[in-house]
Structure 1
Amino acid sequence: MSLTYIANARFPTEKAHGLQIAKTIEALTRKHINVNLVIPKRRVFEKLSPGEFYDLSCEIKPIYLPCIDWFFLYKPFPRLGRFLYALETITFLFSVTIFGLIHLPATLFTRDPYLFVLLSFVRKNLFLELHTFPKTTAGKAVLRQILKRANGIVVTNRFLLKKVESEGVAEEKILVAPNGADLSLSEKMIPKLTARQQLGLPRNQHIVLYLGNFYVSKGVYVLLEAANNLSKNVKVVLVGGSEADRNIEPLKSVIVKNSLTQVTLIGFQERRRIPTYLSAADVCVLPNIVTDEESEFFTTPMKMLDYMAAKRPIVASDLPALREILGDESAVFVRPNDPQALAEGILRVLKDSIKANSRAKLAYFLAEGLSWDNRARRIKMFIGKSITHA
C-alpha cells in the first residue's frame, strides 16, 4: 500500500503536531505502507533531519511544494499573524491541488482537511484525520462538504466522532484512533538519580515535570501559581515551549517577576532527551484549562501519552477529553483552572508513592493498547476496507 500524507506544517518543528505526524509515518512504515510526506517549502530552523530530530527508527524525506512563506514578518509585525498564515495556507493549497492532479497519488491522507477543498471535487481515496472541529459557521459548511466526499475520517476521540456524525457522516466511514503512545520510552528510562545527575537537577527534592508547549490553554500559568502552594522540597521543571510562537520569554518574565525560585524553565529539548527528563520526575502534570470546546472535549495531548508510556504518576485536570484516555483510576484528577486544587493533587501523589505507582502502572497498561503500532494497524485496515467498499 502506498500513501501520500499531506501536511501544512513547518517540519521538523518543536510543536506537538510535528511529532504526531512523524510518529504516525514511522508506525505506518513499520506496517509496510510506503508513505510520502508532502509539506510546504518553508524556512526550517532545525538542522537535524526529521529522523534525528524526532528520534525515529526510519528517516523521513519530505516532498516540498512551493508556498509564500513570509512568516519572518511575524516577529516585527505580530498583528500580521493571521494574514501570513492565510497567505501561506492558500498558496500551499493550490500547490497541493496541482500536485494531486499531476502526480495522481493512489491514496491521500491529511490532518489539515481544508487542503482537500479543491481536490475533493476531482479525486477519490481521500482520508482525513481530525484533531479539532471548526468554530465558525463558514468553516463548518466547508468541512461538511469535504467530509461527504472523503472515503474515510479518522478522529482522535469519541467527542469528535459525535461531531462528525452530527454532520450526516455514517459511522462506518469514521475510525476513532487517539494519538499513539511511544512504548519505546519505557525501554529508555534510566534510574532517577542518574537522570538528575545528568541533567543537573537536585537529588534531594521532589520533581514535578511539565512537558510540552506553553500555550495558556495548556495551563502552564496555573502551574506557576500552584508552585507557590507547594513545599520547599518540591521543584517544578518546565520542558518545552516555542521560540517561533514567542511563548518562552513571557513565561520566563512571570517566573522572575514573582521570584519563583522553585521553578526551573528548561525550554525545548530534542526528542532523544525526553526519556531522561521523564526518568528524573516524581510526578508529571497536565494542568489544562478550559478556554473553549476544543480544550475541554477534543484535546489528546502527546505529553499525556508520554507520561503514561514512561510509567510516571500523573496529575491531570478533570476534563472529559483527558478522562476518555486516562480512565478514572490511572491519574489524580483535579479541578481545572484551580492552582490550589492542582497543588493539592501534586502533594497527594508525593505523599503516597505506593498508590501513585499503582496508578502509573495502570496508565502504562492503557498505553499498551494505544501504541503507535496498534494505531497504524487499525488505520491501515480502515483505509484498505474503505477503498475496497468505495
Structure 2
Amino acid sequence: MKIFYVANVRFPTERAHGIQIAKMCEALVRAGADVTLIVPTRGSGDPFKYYGLTEQFEVKRVWSPRSVATTFDFLFSSFVFGIMSFLFLLRHKSDCVYSMDLDPISYTLLPLLRRPYFFELHGPKRKTVPNRILFRYIAGIITIGERVKSELEKNFPRLREKIIVKPNGTDLTAHNHVKDDARALLGITVEKPLAVYTGSPLGWKGFEVAVEAATRLPDVAFYFVGISADDFAKRGVEIPENVSAIGRVAFRYTALWQDAADILFVTGTQANEYSYKHTSPMKLFEYMAARRPILACGTPAIRQYIDEGQAFFYEPDDAESFASGIRDILSDHASAEARVKNAFRKAEKLSWDNRAAEVLAFIKKQI
C-alpha cells in the first residue's frame, strides 16, 4: 500500500510531533506500507541519523517560506505548503494520504484530491467551515484519546464509525543502560536521588509546579531536560540550587537521561484545557518503557493512559502534593517497584509497531 504522509513540520525536529511522525513512518514501513513523507523545505539534516531510524522511507521536501518567526509568517508558510503539497499529490499516485493536525490551513485542499485521506488528531475541532468540508469527505480519523473522539463525534456526528483511538507509542529498545552507566556517560556525580523531566518548555505543560516542589525537597536533585535557564527566566521562574536546567539535547540522549533517573515525572495543569483534558504525552510512554517510578499529574488526560497501579499521582498545580508524591516513591520501594513492573507491561502493548499495524489495518478497512 502506497501512503503519502503530509506533515507541515520542520524535519527533523526535537519537538514531540517530529518524533511521532518519524517513528510512525518507520513503523508503517515495517508493517508493510510504502511511505513517502512530504514536509516543507525549512527543515535540514539527516532524519534517519537524528532519530536513529532503521527502516528507510522517502522524504520529499516541497518548497515553502522558511521564516515562521511570527504568527503571520507561520500561517503564510502553512498556506504555501498546503498548495505545494497539494500540487505534488495531484502529480503522484497513492492509495491514500495521511496527515496530522499541525496547523489550521495546510490541510484544507485535501478534500479536492478525490482519493482516501486520513487525519491524525490530537485535540478536538470546532465547527468551522473548513473543518466541516474536511470531515465530510474524510475516510478516517486516528485520535490519541477517548475524550477527543467523544468531542469530535459530538460536533461532527457523521464521523461516527470513522474514528479509532490510538494513543502515542514508544520505542521499547531505546532503554539499554543501567542507572549508574547512564549517569557516568552524562557526567552526573551527585549523590542525591534524581528526579528527571524530559520535555519541552511550552507553557501549557505546567512544569513550574515541579520547581516549586523542589524547594521543599532539598535532598532530591531535579533535572529538566529540554528546558533551559532562559526558558525558566522567560516565565519568571527562579531556579533553586537543587534544580538543573539542561536545555535541549539531541533526541538520542533523551532515553539516556531517563535511564539515569530514580524518578521520572510528567506534569500538567488545570489552567489549560488541552493539558488538562486531551494531551497524550509521549514522555509518559517513554517513562513506562524506561522502568523507572513515575510521578504523574492527575489530570483526566493523563489518567486515560495510566492508573494508580502503574504510577504515583499528584494533584494538578499543587506543589505540596507533588512533593508528597516524590516522598512516597522514595519511602515505599515495594510499591514503587510493583508499579514500575505494571507500567512496563502496559508499555509493551504500546509500541510504535503495534500502533502502526493497527492503524494500517484501519486504513485498509476504510478504503
> 2:77 aligns to what?
88
> 1:163 aligns to what?
151
Q: Could you tell me which amino acid in structure 2 is paired with residue 236 of structure 1?
A: F
Large movers: runs of 4+ above 6 Å: none
Q: Give how far 1:254 is off.
A: 7.1
Q: Identify the match of residue 152 of structure 1 among 140, 144, 157.
A: 140
Q: Does 1:374 align with 2:354?
A: yes
Check 1:202–1:254 CA distance in 2 against 1; reply closer, same or farther (3 A cut). farther
Whole-angstrom CA distance in 2 between matches of 1:254 and 1:294: 19
1:115-194 matches, cutoff 5 A: 115-134=106-125, 138=128, 141-166=129-154, 167-186=156-175, 188=176, 190-194=177-181
Whole-angstrom CA distance in 2 between matches of 1:121 and 1:259: 52
The answer to whether the Cα contact below 8 Å between 1:195 and 1:277 also exists between their aligned partners in 2 is: yes
Q: Give how far 1:290 is off.
A: 2.2
> 1:78 aligns to what?
none
Query: Matched residue of 2:106: which SS?
Result: helix
> 1:237 aligns to what?
223
> 2:100 aligns to what?
111
Q: Identify the match of residue 198 of structure 2 among 207, 211, 214.
A: 211
Q: Does 1:53 align with 2:50?
A: yes
RMSD: 1.9
Whole-angstrom CA distance in 1 between matches of 2:235 and 2:37: 39
1:54-69 matches, cutoff 5 A: 54-69=51-66
Q: Give how far 1:203 is off.
A: 4.6
Q: Could you tell me which amino acid in structure 2 is paired with residue 70 of structure 1?
A: S
Q: Could you tell me which amino acid in structure 1 is paired with residue 153 of structure 2?
A: E
The answer to whether the Cα contact below 8 Å between 1:4 and 1:37 also exists between their aligned partners in 2 is: yes
1:13-24 matches, cutoff 5 A: 13-24=13-24
Query: Matched residue of 2:161: which SS?
Result: helix
Query: Matched residue of 2:158: which SS?
Result: coil
Q: Identify the match of residue 260 of structure 2 among 269, 276, 280.
A: 280
Length-normalised TM-score, structure 2: 0.94
The answer to whether the Cα contact below 8 Å between 2:264 and 2:293 also exists between their aligned partners in 1 is: yes
Whole-angstrom CA distance in 2 between matches of 1:55 and 1:127: 26
Q: Give how far 1:252 is off.
A: 5.2
The answer to whether the Cα contact below 8 Å between 1:50 and 1:59 also exists between their aligned partners in 2 is: no
Q: Identify the match of residue 290 of structure 2 among 307, 310, 314.
A: 310
The answer to whether the Cα contact below 8 Å between 2:310 and 2:343 also exists between their aligned partners in 1 is: yes
Identical-pair percentage? 33
Query: Matched residue of 1:62: which SS?
Result: strand
Whole-angstrom CA distance in 1 between matches of 2:317 and 2:125: 24
Q: Give how far 1:357 is off.
A: 1.4
Q: Give how far 1:202 is off.
A: 2.8
> 1:100 aligns to what?
89
Q: Could you tell me which amino acid in structure 2 is paired with residue 105 of structure 1?
A: S
Uncovered stretches (5+) of structure 1, i.e. residues with no partner: 75-80, 242-246
Uncovered stretches (5+) of structure 2, i.e. residues with no partner: none
Whole-angstrom CA distance in 2 between matches of 1:313 and 1:148: 44
Whole-angstrom CA distance in 2 between matches of 1:248 and 1:42: 27
Q: Does 1:228 align with 2:225?
A: no
Whole-angstrom CA distance in 2 between matches of 1:27 and 1:193: 31
Q: Give how far 1:37 is off.
A: 0.2
